Each structure stands twice: as structure tokens, then as C-alpha cells.
Structure 1
Amino acid sequence: MKIEKPEIHYNALDVLANQIVGMTLEYGEVNVDLVWDTIKRSYIYKDLTYEEFLNIINFLDSIKILIYDRENKKLIKTRKGLFYFLDNISMIPDEKSYDVYDITTGQKIGILHEEFVAKHGNPGTIFILRSLPWKIEKIEKKKIFVGLEKDFESAIPSWEGELLPVPLEVAQEAQEIKRDLLNFDELKNQELYFYPNKDNIYIEQYRDWFIIHSPFGSKINDALSRLISQILSEKYGIVVGIKTDPYRIMLKAGYVTKENIKEVIENIDLDNVENILEKAIVNTDLFLWKFSHVAKRFGVIRKDADYSKSTLRRILDHLIGTPVYKETLNELFIEKLDVKNLKMILKKIKERKIKVNIVDRENISPLAILGLEEYVSDVLISDKWREVLKLVKERIENTELIFVCMACGTKYKIKVKDYDEKFKCKKCGGQYFGVAKSEKDLEDEKKLNITAELLRNYGKKFVFIYAGKGISYLSAKFLLKKEYKNEDELLMNIIEYEKRGIKFAKR
């Protein structure tokens, strides 16, 4: 069993500022050289330069958290510094959450954590909550108003921010293990494309999606995807969509080829990685979210302050190049992007220890399907999937539902395959039936009324969809409104909703 190596934040500038202020409060006034000697005894600050140290002092002096007497080389405490220090005894940021409301009903349907909103919280973003896709319509202070969407394509799981990142070592070990799993149904025929391994990157294409098989873990893949996206955007003037997981990068881009992407990966300038990443992230909400935490730890804004994005952006614009800005970059490079190991991977690519390969086949591989099916609903119904669809159809058709006559209350248990739309109540002759999936559902009169309306409007198609595992009447309603080219496409959508329902039920 291996323990993940701890990530050490060397030269953390916000912590340094906090400790310098603490020394002024302890002594009233303190000699700059004494502070410098004390700090340099710490292993964490062994590489800190005197220039960086003075930059921190000058910045704290500029915002009146301490007074820097340059003539006598003294740091003097201030009243504002006392309030700052008491406000930041703990350097752990307070994480806020946003209430999510259905814009059509006004009902609260859940919450989203601040980090998720920072990454994805823009009008038009589609995400998964309560096993259904929702689109952000507007954000007002700490309230997010959303509307239901028709399908899951490109939707982001709302629990994404709660998942632990997969480190490089684990991702590479898992990639090697996949060799032993190639006889499993889901990976059948993978050997016709390539064998996954840690010394090769493979690039595949499906329509305008490019799947880059890169077993480098969550943070390195996030960083690499932003690098590639930024370079492609600058070189070809295009917008590039990004999706990543620990084992692959998925780019959505028009007007480029697999060869273009291969060329970009192989020719990234190692000395310019940080500069490219800075350009890629500085205008993102993720950067703004991290900046707000760092700014509070520096005393630039109060810890309990709750500024809008536009206000934070104006504050950020005035602090570019300051220790606050530099520390924000430093924390993102360590916590979210793992720039150190990214550069190690890029160096191996340049040395040809890791090779970049293009996969030229008409269809994409099973491994690519596993990654892309989360975002593209109609991605390749392969032979493997056709067998799965057949089994799902058989299971649904043999599922027993309870039909309740809404006139007299008589109940009938009928399998989906045996249901006849002309069926009448044997007791009263009624044809208006509510549908229940369990005895417990029979107690919910509202649900019975809604399912009765759906049954009357959609007939057996509703029965078939509603019989899916974990599919609610609300999910069934949205599936019914969609158009399908064929039965296979309908079944693929049912499977997707079943998967989402199971994930939600486990949470």
C-alpha cells in the first residue's frame, strides 16, 4: 500500500505575511533583519529571496497593516494589523454554498458549493442535480435560478468538486492494470486500437471531439488540457471546449486535426509553461475564486466580505503583479494543476520517453467511448452496446408495474410487455390509470395523478420508459418529449438516466 506524497507549499506568501504581522504585534516594533533571519530558519522558506521578502513588507505597508520605517529598518504594528491578525488566526478559508431554485416553480432543489460555482457558475452552464440536467438561467447574490434541460449531453455532475483528485502514480498504475482487463465486455476489441500504457499518449477523433489518452492523473490532465487549449486558441483563433478525467483529455474544437494537436503537445516550450497557463486561467472564475481567498488572507478584503464577481474582478485588476496575485497563481499551480509534474511529463515527451501517437481508425476505441459517453449521448452504438441494449430492453419489458384505476381504486400488476393500451378496469370499466412502481408509491396521490396524465398522453411509450431503474415520472416526462431516431437511441437515453439515478440514490 502506497501513501500519497504530501504537497508542500514552499514560500507561501500569504502565510508569510500573516507571520510578519504577528511578529509586529508581539514586539510592537521589530527589526527587519531579525524577521528575515527568523523566517529563513524555516525549511519552507529556504528558497525565499530577500527581494520577495521586501515585496511582502512593502505591500503590507501600502495597505496599512503594518508600518515600514525604512530609515531605521523597523516594522511597527498598527491597529488595522491587529484586526487583520485576529480575523485570520485560521488560514483555512470559509467555503460558502449557493441555494439552487427551479425558476419555473420557485422551489429550492438543492445547493452548489462555492468551488463548483467558481468553475462552472455561468448562465447557460448545464449541470446534474437530483439526477436531472439543469441549465443556469441567472445568479442573484447567493441564489442560482435554473431551468430543466432535455438531455445530459455536456452536463457536469454537481458533486464534481467533492471528488478527490487522482494523483499521477495512481493513474499510471491503473493504466497498466487496464491491460489485464481487456477481455472484459466493456473493453472488448480494445486491442484492435492500442494497448494502454504509461509511456504512450494516443489521440483519437470523433466528429469535433478529440480524445487524448493521457494517464497522468486529475491535476496534470487539467493543466495539460488548458495548455493545449490556450495554444490552439492563439494559433488558430478558435474556441476549444475542455473535459478531463484522470486518464484522458477530451477537447471539442473545429478546424483542427489530430496532427495539429500532436504537434502542439510535442512542441510545448518548457520555459514558457507557467506563462501560458497564467494566460489560460487568469480570466477564469476559478482564478477569481482562489484570488478572493488569498486576498482575505492578506487582509486586502475582510474575511466576511461577500463581493460580486465584477467587484472582485476590479480589485484583481488593481493587484496584478502584487504578492496577492503571485500567491493566487502559486496555489493554483500546486493545488489544482500540478505544474511541477506536468513539466516532468512534457520533458519526457521531448526526450521521446513518452511518445505521442495518432490512432487512425474509422471508429473510436472502447476506452474512448467510456470517456466520451458522459458528454455525447449518441457516441457509437458498438456491438458491445447492442448486446447491452438487448438485455436492457428484455429487463424493462419483464418489469412489473402497478396500475391503479383512478375511478374505483382497483389495482392490477402488469408486466410492461403485457400492457395493452385498450385495457379497461374489470370492476368499473374505467380507462384512466395511475402507475406505481412500488406499494409505497400507491400512497402518493399526486404522483398517481401525474402518471395517469402521462399514461393517457403517451400510452405504452410512457410505461416502457417509466419502468427503467431509478427513473422518476419527471425524468420519464423529459425523455418522452425528446425525439429519437430509433429504439436504440431511446434505450441509450434510458440507460443514461438509470445511471444518473443510481449515482444520485447512492449520495
Structure 2
Amino acid sequence: NLEVGASFLSHGTPWHVIDITEDAVLAEPTSGKNIMVPSWTGEDIPVSFEVAQEVGKMRSIKKNVSPMPDNKTVILEIVSDLVVLHLCAGTRVNNGVARLFSKKLSDLIGESVWAVADPYRILLKLPFPLKSDDIQRAFLSIKNVKSDLELSLENSPLLRFKFLHIGRMFGLLSEDANVSMRFVRALRYSAVYQETMRSIFFRYFDIGTTEEILKQIKTGKLKLVIDQREKPSYFAAIGIERASGGENVGAFEPREKIISAFKEDALSRTLHLQCLNCNATRFLHLAGAPEKITCHKCEKSTLTLLDKQNNLVRDADFAAGLIQAYGKRALIALSTYGIGPSTADRILRMIRRDEESFYLDIIEAQKKFIKNKKYWKLS
């Protein structure tokens, strides 16, 4: 039985339940971490900077890929809301750059940016596409490597996991103990915390090499190429396949598929309408609805929505005005769970370059409604 907060698989893609209504389960794509079969295979053996550089040199022999990410060329590949930084710098350097780059992008847009790294590339999933100039600027603004990495670790699962391990070694925690991030922060100046940070930096990051790589990119010693394209490159596809094969399966679910599924659901709705002028009612299937909505009896554009109990919806006059002004799009917005006339009005007023952006705005507004609903107080 599904409940809010649960995760499930559908067609190989993991989903997270964010709300359950009388006739629908509302879910969003998730990383899939909570639905993997519990197992522990250990961490991958890290690839050193030197080995990754040699791989880059071997790549440069190939002539059938352009631009070629090698030991002398760093490529910033942008595919809609997917960013791939091709950097042959090894596991520890790329781990650090991934955290720093994602933090810079998060600070820029005010939302979380998902990132994963391997020895040869860093993949970042944006909540929405950004201009290439903004992405490049965020990358080149990385500095203060050590202090920024410390900040990025403050509330991370990695810090909590390593603190638990080190705490047991120090005799501070029992073998079956568990700790919260609040507990970890409370011991920020303890020997256990300091040893935890030292262990993380030693095992997962390479501060000196990271600083040198970033310096070479900024000075031009390493060539930085911006590659904006419609589909992932050969080397990006390898990284996506690797990321999708582990615990982060589904994180790169194409936005187009989500929009397509939402649109299909929206157009499958049949709405009950009433004319505010002559009180005539009618059922209208959205898939076959005309762009301009008028009453079949008096031919005036004064239709509004009825709810499941055949009562006028709240702010029926406002809704009628939106339907008169925006037609079919207003019906799509107003018939979406969590979208009232005020929110629909804001969405419909926005200027967009394509239809997909319209559906995406509705999806984001619905998600915001669902996530905020639990904080409402009944009056």
C-alpha cells in the first residue's frame, strides 16, 4: 500500500509519492535511493589524477569525436537542464569539483542541484535550463576550495556517516548508536569532528590538485570548451549510463517525458461547465476542446467550472474570466489539483517560448502547493 513519502518503481523509473487524493497518486521522479535492494559492495577504488590524465592522453589519439575531452581540454557540455563537465582529473579531484560546482549553481538559482562524479566527468541536473553564460560563470567563480568544501559538507550524509564511524573508533559512540546532524553540529569543535573532517578530506578530496586544475582553467593553460547540444555526447552518455546503473537510477529522467505524461493526463480530463449567463451546463473533454470556450446555448464566453458535487467552484467569476481570456489553457490549469484561480492567473499571464514551458509551470506550481499544504493550519 502506497503512502505519502513512499517510493516505487514504474517502467524502471523510481518515483516518490508526494500526495494522495481521492482518485490519484501524485508522485515525482526521485533518485531511487530508498528502493534499492539493501546491499553493500564497498566503495569504488579511486582513480588517481595521474591515471585519469593518461586516459585523457589516450583519448586524444581518437579523431572521430569533437570536441574531445582529454588531458588538455575541459569541456562544459550543456544539454537542456543537464550539465556535464568533462574533466580527466581522477576521483578525488572530481568529487570536490562536483560539490563546489553544484553549490555555486544552487546559490545562483536558489534551488538544489543534483551532482554525481566519476574520474572523467561530473554530471549535474538542474531544476530548469540555464543560459550557458550563467553556467560558465558559476564554474569559473569557484575559489576557496577547502573552506567551500567544508561548508558543503555541513549537512551532508557523508559527514554524518563518517562521524558515526570515527565516533565509534574514539569510543564516543556504541556500535548500535545512531546520530542526528544536530548532534554532529553540537560537537563541531571536538576531536571527533576534526578527525572526521580530516578523514573525509584525505579519502575523498585532493585540495592541492583541485586548486591547481582550477587555476590552469582560469589562466587558459587548460582549454575550456563550451559545448551546447540537443543530445548528450558519446562520453556524456557513458557517464549517464554509469550513474543510472547505481543508486542514482532515474535521476536523469528526461524532463520531456514528465511533461508529456502530465499533458496526456491533463487532456484526458472531462470537465463539467456551467454558463454564468444562461445557467446551461455541459461536459467538455479537454483533448477535443477548442481554443476558445463558449456556451453551446447562448454562445457567450461566460463558462466556469463545477466541482464533483455539481456546485460552482470557489471564485467562479474569477475562473470564468480566465476561461474567457485564455480559453483551453485556462481549463487545463484550473482543472489541475492544487491550482486555484489566483495561481492559474499568474501562470497564464507568463510569456513563454513554447507549450512545454506552460505545462512545466503548472507542474512546478502543483508541487509547491503539495509541499506547502502540510504546513497549513485549519481555521
Q: TM-score range by the shorter chain?
A: 0.5 to 0.7
Q: Indicate conservation of the 8 Å contact 1:349/1:355, yes or no.
A: yes
Q: Distance in 2 between matches of 1:370 and 1:353?
A: 27
Per the alignment, in what secondary structure is the counterpart of residue 342 of structure 1? helix
Could you say if the C-alpha distance between residues 217 and 234 of structure 1 is closer, same or farther in structure 2, counting changes exceeding 3 Å?
A: same
Q: Indicate conservation of the 8 Å contact 2:69/2:87, yes or no.
A: no
Q: Indicate conservation of the 8 Å contact 1:204/1:258, yes or no.
A: no
Work out the number of aligned pairs and report it: 232
Aligned twin of 2:219: 351
Could you say if the C-alpha distance between residues 360 and 197 of structure 1 is closer, same or farther in structure 2, counting changes exceeding 3 Å?
A: same
Q: Distance in 1 between matches of 2:123 and 2:109?
A: 18
Aligned twin of 1:285: 157
Please list the CA deviations of residues 59-94 of structure 1 after superposition, one character each: whole Å capped at 9, or x if unmatched.
Answer: xxxxxxxxxxxxxxxxxxxxxxxxxxxxxxxxxxxx
Q: Indicate conservation of the 8 Å contact 1:226/1:277, yes or no.
A: yes
Could you say if the C-alpha distance between residues 231 and 160 of structure 1 is closer, same or farther in structure 2, counting changes exceeding 3 Å?
A: farther
Q: Indicate conservation of the 8 Å contact 1:202/1:213, yes or no.
A: yes
Could you say if the C-alpha distance between residues 235 and 196 of structure 1 is closer, same or farther in structure 2, counting changes exceeding 3 Å?
A: closer
Aligned twin of 1:466: none
Task: Determine if the alignment matches structure 1 residue 231 to structure 2 residue 231.
Answer: no
Q: Distance in 2 between matches of 1:279 and 1:125?
A: 30
Gaps of 5+ in 2: 18-26, 245-250, 257-379
Task: Determine if the alignment matches structure 1 residue 198 to structure 2 residue 71.
Answer: yes
RMSD (CA atoms): 3.5
CA deviation after TM superposition for structure 1 residue 249, in Å: 0.8
Per the alignment, in what secondary structure is the counterpart of residue 60 of structure 2? helix
Per the alignment, in what secondary structure is the counterpart of residue 359 of structure 1? strand
Task: Determine if the alignment matches structure 1 residue 321 to structure 2 residue 189.
Answer: yes
Aligned twin of 2:177: 306
Q: Distance in 2 between matches of 1:162 and 1:125?
A: 25
Q: Distance in 2 between matches of 1:291 and 1:306?
A: 11
Aligned twin of 2:210: 342
Q: Distance in 1 between matches of 2:187 and 2:237?
A: 44
In structure 2, what residue type is equivalent to 1:206? Answer: V
Q: Indicate conservation of the 8 Å contact 1:168/1:220, yes or no.
A: yes
Could you say if the C-alpha distance between residues 289 and 124 of structure 1 is closer, same or farther in structure 2, counting changes exceeding 3 Å?
A: farther
Aligned twin of 2:349: none
Q: Distance in 2 between matches of 1:133 and 1:358?
A: 30
Could you say if the C-alpha distance between residues 160 and 133 of structure 1 is closer, same or farther in structure 2, counting changes exceeding 3 Å?
A: farther
Q: Indicate conservation of the 8 Å contact 1:233/1:239, yes or no.
A: yes
Please list the CA deviations of residues 267-293 of structure 1 after superposition, one character each: whole Å capped at 9, or x if unmatched.
Answer: 322xx2222111111201110010112
CA deviation after TM superposition for structure 1 residue 182, in Å: 5.1
% same residue: 30
Matches within 5 A, 1:466-477: none
Could you say if the C-alpha distance between residues 280 and 126 of structure 1 is closer, same or farther in structure 2, counting changes exceeding 3 Å?
A: farther
Q: Distance in 1 between matches of 2:42 and 2:233?
A: 28
Q: Indicate conservation of the 8 Å contact 1:372/1:379, yes or no.
A: no
| Alignment counterpart, residue 264 of structure 1, candidates 115, 121, 138 | 138
CA deviation after TM superposition for structure 1 residue 181, in Å: 4.6
Q: Distance in 2 between matches of 1:203 and 1:328?
A: 33
Could you say if the C-alpha distance between residues 352 and 379 of structure 1 is closer, same or farther in structure 2, counting changes exceeding 3 Å?
A: same
Q: Indicate conservation of the 8 Å contact 1:228/1:261, yes or no.
A: no
In structure 1, what residue type is equivalent to 2:155? Answer: N
CA deviation after TM superposition for structure 1 residue 124, in Å: 6.4
Matches within 5 A, 1:113-152: none
In structure 1, what residue type is equivalent to 2:80? Answer: R
Q: Indicate conservation of the 8 Å contact 1:262/1:356, yes or no.
A: no
Matches within 5 A, 1:74-153: none
In structure 1, what residue type is equivalent to 2:185? Answer: D
Q: Distance in 1 between matches of 2:73 and 2:8?
A: 33
Q: Distance in 1 between matches of 2:31 and 2:60?
A: 29
Aligned twin of 1:162: 43
Q: Indicate conservation of the 8 Å contact 1:153/1:377, yes or no.
A: no
| Alignment counterpart, residue 86 of structure 2, candidates 213, 217, 234 | 213
Q: Indicate conservation of the 8 Å contact 2:87/2:94, yes or no.
A: yes
In structure 1, what residue type is equivalent to 2:152? Answer: A
CA deviation after TM superposition for structure 1 residue 237, in Å: 1.1
Per the alignment, in what secondary structure is the counterpart of residue 306 of structure 1? coil
Q: Distance in 2 between matches of 1:337 and 1:124?
A: 34
Q: Indicate conservation of the 8 Å contact 2:116/2:124, yes or no.
A: yes
CA deviation after TM superposition for structure 1 residue 214, in Å: 0.9
In structure 1, what residue type is equivalent to 2:213? Answer: I
Gaps of 5+ in 1: 1-102, 105-122, 138-149, 184-189, 381-507
Q: Distance in 2 between matches of 1:153 and 1:237?
A: 19
Per the alignment, in what secondary structure is the counterpart of residue 45 of structure 2? coil
Aligned twin of 1:97: none
Could you say if the C-alpha distance between residues 352 and 368 of structure 1 is closer, same or farther in structure 2, counting changes exceeding 3 Å?
A: same
Please list the CA deviations of residues 106-151 of structure 1 after superposition, one character each: whole Å capped at 9, or x if unmatched.
Answer: xxxxxxxxxxxxxxxxx76789xxxx777799xxxxxxxxxxxx9x
Aligned twin of 1:179: 60
Could you say if the C-alpha distance between residues 282 and 296 of structure 1 is closer, same or farther in structure 2, counting changes exceeding 3 Å?
A: same
